[in-house]
Amino acid sequence: MTTKQKVIQILEKNINKAVSGEILALECNVSRAAIWKAVNSLRETGYEINATTNGGYIFNGNKDIFSKENFCKFFEKEFPEIKSEIEVFETIDSTNTYAKKLITNEGSLKNTDGSLTKNACKLQNKIIIAESQTHGKGRLGRTFYSPSKTGIYISIIIIPNTALEDPAFLTTSAAVAVCRTLKKLYKIDAKIKWINDIFVGGKKICGILTEGFANFESRTIDSAVIGIGINVKENKETPEELKQIATSISEQCNNAKINRAELAAHICGETLKILCEDNNKVIDEYKTLSFLIGKQVTVFPIIGDEKSSYNAKVIDIDDKAGLVVKKDNDTIVTLNSGEVSIKSENVANKL
């Protein structure tokens, strides 16, 4: 047994009771410096261990350990009908990049009769989760800040059996799934900012990036990856500029302890469940959760071209998740790409 394992074994037998560093060192037959190192490593893993003023340690029983086993425990209990392969990484460049590589490595996903190949069936609904990303990707080529232990980064591979013409439905489904999960697990009322951002209390809590592989012949999507990045707790190292415009689940719940495995399992299960629901009902729910309708916004139809921007009022979200806006000259335009900002949120768009 390693020192780390021995230390946690002792602390788990003494929940909420202080155990001195000296006793731990004696029981583990190592130096106090080694105990200090082991405790720090346990904290890194997700155990909440506090230090006492006289050099002791108290474990309060809270642990947030992200492992495939923990994820599956929640996933299988809550969504027994959904079959998915799961892969978990402590760190990765980007879960979306990895998922896309898995798809491209597969080559053709369909047999000549149009059915999915055996390997495509294995990839279908595959979930990739990382505790941190070194090159997290955001929409429109932006980077997505993905620090360790304080967020969770998910990609889900979708290989439609029937023609999927528009990947927007995947993004809207994931957005609704995140909102449902935040409500169900933490009673948080989250709102959607078209098309892919989830906000709570005016700050961004989650971003979604759906990437698809288009089939130019059939003009449909052969496969797609839904990427979801969610802030779980405050990260002390988050750049000040982001702190102003981002929030986390824990901050919205009086710093409550959040179990990332439970959270991720619910988001993934709910997303996959919603994809089987009636599209129209999901869009209705998406509309109800959207906070842009009725708001005065600046529209950026071509990203990077500030000159193309114009002011408009959001009047609706249509059946295909297009944002319907009314320009100042009363012309109605439906946006299927680009982005909009409400004046006070100009910075949030850069998240």
Binding site residues, ligand BTN, CB under 6 A = 94-96, 133, 136-139, 142, 144, 153-155, 196-197, 207-209, 227-229, 351
We find the least distance from the C-beta atom of residue 60 to ligand BTN, in angstroms, to be: 30
Q: How far is CA 239 from CA 146, 242, 253, in A?
A: 12, 6, 22
Tell which residue, 146, 141, 45, 142, has the closest CA to residue 93.
146
Closest residue to ligand BTN in the complex (CB): 207
For ligand BTN, the closer of residues 3 and 95 by Cβ is 95
For ligand BTN, the closer of residues 24 and 99 by Cβ is 99
Q: What does the alpha-carbon distance between residue 119 and residue 130 come to, in Å, rounded to a whole number? A: 23
Compute φ and ψ for 114, nearest 5 degrees: 90, -10
For ligand BTN, the closer of residues 126 and 139 by Cβ is 139
We find the least distance from the C-beta atom of residue 132 to ligand BTN, in angstroms, to be: 10
We find the least distance from the C-beta atom of residue 116 to ligand BTN, in angstroms, to be: 24
Q: What does the alpha-carbon distance between residue 134 and residue 248 come to, in Å, rounded to a whole number? A: 20
CA angle, 323 then 206 then 319, to 5°: 25
For ligand BTN, the closer of residues 155 and 259 by Cβ is 155
Q: What does the alpha-carbon distance between residue 262 and residue 7 come to, in Å, rounded to a whole number? A: 26
We find the least distance from the C-beta atom of residue 140 to ligand BTN, in angstroms, to be: 7
For ligand BTN, the closer of residues 207 and 269 by Cβ is 207
Tokens of 156: 């889900």
We find the least distance from the C-beta atom of residue 89 to ligand BTN, in angstroms, to be: 11
Residues with Cβ within 8 Å of residue 27, at least 6 apart in sequence: 6, 10
Tokens of 338: 């680009």
We find the least distance from the C-beta atom of residue 199 to ligand BTN, in angstroms, to be: 11
Residue ranges of alpha helices (H) inside 187-243 are: 240-243
For ligand BTN, the closer of residues 50 and 244 by Cβ is 244
